[in-house]
Amino acid sequence: MDIPKDYLNKFRGKQSKITSERQELIQRFTDKINVERVGTAFKPATWKQINGLLAHLKVRDLYWFLGECGRAPSFSKKFFGVLKGARKRPKTKT
């Protein structure tokens, strides 16, 4: 799914100050999720919300996760489904 030209002006507002590779990846996740939310009842996700959800992942894992979500029919469903599944995993006994 391509990002509409007016999307970035509408949701980002000010010019973003991305200074690291991780910040760029988080912004890509945020943009792709928000593109799917246009025209729905869901409010746009903020960079801070997505960063909080992905804080436990390393940069190399973010690249893998971005690819997995990108190959799915719905980026958002894959994104939130995987994260929801990760929280529900039973703890193993040691």
CB 7 within 8 A of CB 81: no
Query: Which has the higher per-residue pLDDT, 40 or 89?
Result: 40
Domain range summary for the chain, segments of one domain joined by +: 18-87
- Segments in the chain forming alpha helices (H): 7-12, 21-37, 47-54, 59-71, 75-87
Query: Which has the higher per-residue pLDDT, 72 or 19?
Result: 72
- Give pTM, 2 decimals: 0.73
Q: How far apart are CA 7 and CA 35, in angstroms?
A: 8
- pLDDT tens digits, one per residue of 12-60: 555 567 788 899 999 999 999 999 988 889 999 999 999 999 999 999 9
Q: Is the pLDDT of residue 10 over 70?
A: no
Q: Is the pLDDT of residue 75 over 90?
A: yes
pLDDT at 33: 94
